[in-house]
Structure 1
């Protein structure tokens, strides 16, 4: 499956868990590449959740903590790699 490549891609060099996060608003799809090389796609992620996640990451908050508490338990996902 082809990875997302949008203007929303945000590389997360300061994260201990993620390489990048990406989002397509129309499809409400969030894609995350983890440092272990795995890529996951999360479905039906609301724009407000994306904005909160993006704000968390860009302000120095933990990507991994946000994903573990707000994304993984609430959204269906698929492993791409």
Structure 2
């Protein structure tokens, strides 16, 4: 899954279902991978009105991540 949406925080995201890695490309240019994110969370993230709020409240606290760029 690859999605581009209007957000003041998230520029784009790519989901790799085979590894359950969510790659977030921030408006700042930073790129982070979030690990073991299940498809149901990705579906909710894709539908969220505020990607930044969903990221901060649901994804960041629950899933390990690393900075790629």
Superposition TM-score, scaled by structure 1 size: 0.82
Instruction: Report the aligned-residue RMSD.
Output: 0.7
Of residues 3, 14, 20, the one that matches 1:10 is 3
Residue 43 of structure 2 corresponds to 51
Unmatched 5+ stretches in structure 1: 1-7
- List 4+ stretches of structure 1 deviating above 3 A: none
Structure 1 or 2: more helix by fraction: 2
Structure 1 or 2: more strand by fraction: 2
User: 1:22-37 alignment to 2 at 5 Å?
Assistant: 22-37=14-29
Superposition TM-score, scaled by structure 2 size: 0.95
